[in-house]
Amino acid sequence: MHHLKFEYFIAKRIIDSKAYKSSVSAPIIKIGIAAIAIGIIVMMIAIATGIGLQQKIREKVVAFNSDIIISNFDSNNSQESGNPVSMEQDFYPEFKSVEGVAHIQAVATKFGVIRTETDFEAVILKGVGADFNWIYFQDFLVKGRVPDYSGERNEEVLISQYLANRLQFKLGDSFTTLFRKDDPNKPPSMITYHIVGIYNSGFKDFDETYVFGDLRHLQRLNKWEDNQAGHFEVFVTDYSKLNEIYNEVYNNTPPLLNVTTVEQKFASIFEWIQIFVKNIYGIIGVMILVAGINMITALLVLVLERTQMIGILKALGSSNWAIRKIFLYNASYLITLGLLWGNVIGLGLLFAQKYFKLFPLNPDVYYVTEAPVYISLSYILALNIGTFILCLAMLLVPSYIITKISPVKAIRFE
């Protein structure tokens, strides 16, 4: 124990000494500390925004499509419900046989055309019932309320801000929607809808497409029974287990029904957000390398400045490892300093973005209006511990130079 105290004591003396602060190494050491601080800041921002963006975009895709979709095998792979599926299923209205299912709802979709005196717009009417979970749309709600289909069949609809702006609708307006019939010679069916709510998810592809209305209208238009729907939407409790839950759902549904995950349905979007994660790894690698190289330079300068001291300690019988330890203590102090500053500034920036939304993003490209941040203690700790260990490991090699210093030459060395 006395040994460790000796090395620690000398390391502390070196750090505290006045000469140290004014010497050649002072600016180089400052650069080393700064490199670590900047590295931590950049890595934190990369992870927080990368994962934040991924989660936000995923949540929006899931809001409109759910996590797992159960439907009929249908020849036409269109966005419109084809063959109806019966609601009289073992797994409906409660999916009890599978652990990890949060909610299941029966819905249908149908192409329609909204017609105004001056304009018309093709949309998909998403018919939903009393079982529909509005939680996501409560968050997206800009004006009004979400429709209520728990009572009689009604004409309430939820429309996006995008469509409301395009067609100059406001809350409380009514509009006519045309739906084509199977027999092309017959005039289309018409429904006059009443706007009770306006939503904005920030995901333009969906906002310009979906209007939410009563499922019972679509059942009537399609001449379906009261117990038929277009497809089922299943929400999971833990997205990270999506594939396991999907397999369970697949095994617990009749073979005549098709089961897909949201990732299979929107492969291109999910591949695109996977790239974020690859970028994060790249950034972390580069940053740790830069910080490590800067620390190596700082350590070499420290060692060269102290050649004489090293010679004296060796002459007094100190082992190479003991002397290396002095410099490694010294370096770990500098690394810790860098980490400390990096965390203070990095977390400051992340919390500022989280609560004050300093950096906006273009929603047409990123599907979100501001850079979302994901802050979690686990990755922050992992980053700090990882950086500390890797930087120290990179210093073990250059500290080896100390063993090559001969005491006689070093003490004579002026």
CB-based contacts of 262, cutoff 8 Å, min separation 6? 61, 62, 65, 66, 67, 68, 69, 270
Give pLDDT tens digits for 108-163.
Answer: 999 999 999 888 999 999 999 999 999 999 999 999 999 999 999 999 999 999 99
Q: Is the pLDDT of residue 195 over 60?
A: yes
* Residue 31 to residue 413: CA distance in whole angstroms: 28
Q: What is the pLDDT of residue 364?
A: 78
* Residue 358 to residue 164: CA distance in whole angstroms: 28
Average pLDDT over residues 70-97: 83
Q: What is the DSSP string of 248-309?
A: HHHHTS-TTEEEEEHHHHTHHHHHHHHHHHHHHHHHHHHHHHHHHHHHHHHHHHHHHHTHHH
2 band by pLDDT with thresholds 50, 70 and 90: low
Q: What is the pLDDT of residue 1?
A: 54
* Residue 275 to residue 393: CA distance in whole angstroms: 30
Least confident interval from 73-77, 284-288, 297-301: 73-77
367 band by pLDDT with thresholds 50, 70 and 90: confident
The domain segmentation of the chain, as residue ranges, is 2-59+270-412, 74-255
Supply the DSSP symbol for 140.
H
Q: What is the pLDDT of residue 371?
A: 86
SS3 376: coil
Average pLDDT over residues 375-404: 91
Q: Is the pLDDT of residue 4 over 80?
A: no
Q: What is the pLDDT of residue 132?
A: 96
Q: Is the pLDDT of residue 75 over 90?
A: no
Say if CB 338 and CB 40 are below 8 A apart: yes
pTM above 0.85, yes or no: no
Q: Is 202 left (phi over 0), alpha (psi -120 to 50) or beta?
A: left
Nearest Cα to 213, choosing from 114, 285, 314, 353? 114
Q: Is the pLDDT of residue 20 over 60?
A: no
Average pLDDT over residues 172-183: 92
Q: Is the pLDDT of residue 381 over 90?
A: yes
16 band by pLDDT with thresholds 50, 70 and 90: confident
Supply the DSSP symbol for 91.
T
Q: Is the pLDDT of residue 385 over 90?
A: yes
Higher pLDDT, 265 or 366: 265
Give pLDDT tens digits for 204-248.
Answer: 899 999 999 999 999 999 999 999 999 999 999 999 999 999 999
Q: Is 357 left (phi over 0), alpha (psi -120 to 50) or beta?
A: left
Q: Are strands 156-160 and 101-115 parallel, antiparallel or unpaired?
A: unpaired
Q: What is the pLDDT of residue 93?
A: 86
Give pLDDT tens digits for 238-256.
Answer: 999 999 999 999 999 999 8
* Residue 99 to residue 164: CA distance in whole angstroms: 40
* Residue 98 to residue 329: CA distance in whole angstroms: 54
Mean pLDDT rounded to a whole number for the chain: 90
Q: Is the pLDDT of residue 377 over 60?
A: yes
Average pLDDT over residues 377-401: 92
Average pLDDT over residues 337-350: 96
